[in-house]
Amino acid sequence: MLRQLTLDLGTPPPSTFDNFFAGANAELVTRLRELDNALAAGPVADRTFYLWGESGSGRTHLLQALVHEAPPGHARFAGPQSSLAAFGFDPRVALYAIDDCDALSAAQQIAVFNLFNEVRAHPTSALVAAGNAAPIGMTVREDLRTRLGWGLVFHLAPLPDEAKAAVLKHAARERGLMLADDVPAYLLTHFRRDMPSLMALLDALDRFSLEQKRAVTLPLLRTMLASPGVDERRAGSAAGSHAASSASSASSKIGPHG
């Protein structure tokens, strides 16, 4: 019997700009890289950003990359699981990254609204927020919704299937694997299509191929997925995410408004 295998592979590598698969979002990644550098030099013209996209589009990755690549102590990450104190303004913090604005509590929304106002009053600080919808469609306080649309708004475009397949093959080569051509196609047809889930499957397949001492082929993938330890919640059907992906539009940038 195959020994149990799970897709929980321990601590993932830190989120950086270098390991974000930009695709049509290259301009956004460039702007965020520049923001980290510009804040260290003095006042910045564009200091509030809002990123939105479907689950798995990379919103959290980009916010974490901002904090990871900023000088220690100069950036702060906060979200629905954070305490109210995490949303307080601190003149020693140059960059605030606020994730999942759509899931913030009423008290947290008030705190973020106040933080927006403080950031705008201090030209050497910036705020980058993220959520699951454009500002006009956000189900948050009206005053916060308006603030989210004040600065630069970017829609994170999902990668098309051919780009996802190329990313999987590239990531496999970095691990010393050669994927058969039908493996990425099978994953994209039968499982969750967001890149975090696909990369988790690739990591599991990498380990499983070493355990079995077999090349990475479609039969090996099917054997792995048939083993009782695979977490089917993480490798679930792609039907729902496929519908959301096909409905997404291309990446767009919207100037200040609201």
Mark out the alpha helices in the chain (DSSP H runs): 26-41, 59-69, 106-121, 142-148, 161-174, 182-190, 195-212, 218-226, 239-247
Which of 84-88, 182-186, 210-214 has the highest mean predicted lDDT (pLDDT)? 84-88
189 vs 126, higher pLDDT: 126
d(CA 118, CA 134): 23
Question: Cα 85 to chain center, whole Å?
Answer: 24
Of 14-18, 193-197, 236-240, 246-250, the poorest mean pLDDT is in 246-250
| Amino acid occupying residue 197 | S
Per-residue model confidence (pLDDT) at position 233: 39
What 3-state class would DSSP assign to 95?
Answer: strand
Burial of 234 (0-12, 13-18, 19+ CB in 10 A): middle
Is the pLDDT score of 32 beyond 90? yes
Q: What's the pLDDT score for residue 132?
A: 93
Q: Which of 119, 138, 130, 125 is nearest to 154 (CA)?
A: 130
The C-alpha R_g of the chain, in whole angstroms, comes to 20
Direct distance between the N- and C-terminal alpha carbons of the chain, in angstroms, rounded to an integer: 60
Least confident of 22-31, 58-67, 176-185: 176-185
In the three-class reduction of DSSP (H, G, I as helix; E, B as strand; rest coil), residue 20 is classed as coil
pTM here is 0.71
- Average confidence (pLDDT) over 1-13: 44
- Distance, in Å, from the CA atom of 169 to the CA atom of 152, rounded to the nearest integer, reads 34
The CB density around residue 22, as the number of other CB atoms within 10 Å, is: 18
Bridging pattern class, strands 152-155 and 253-254: antiparallel
Q: What tens digit of pLDDT does each residue of 111-129 get?
A: 999 999 999 999 889 999 9
Q: What's the confidence (pLDDT) of residue 112?
A: 98
The predicted pLDDT at position 155 comes to 95
Tell me the pLDDT band of 144, cut-offs 50, 70 and 90.
Answer: very high
Measuring CA to CA, which residue among 68, 75, 129 is closest to residue 104? 129
pLDDT mean across residues, the chain? 81
Highest mean predicted confidence (pLDDT) among 108-112, 168-172, 248-252: 108-112
Q: CB-based burial of residue 134 (10 Å sphere; 0-12 exposed, 13-18 middle, 19+ buried)?
A: middle
Q: Render the burial of 58-70: b for 16+ CB within 10 Å, e for the rest.
A: bbbbbbbbbbebb
Ordered by where they begin, the domains of the chain are 23-158+247-254 (3.40.50.300), 161-243 (1.10.8.60)
**CA angle at 152 for the pair 134 and 12, rounded to the nearest 5°:** 75
CA–CA gap between residue 91 and residue 144 (Å, rounded) = 21
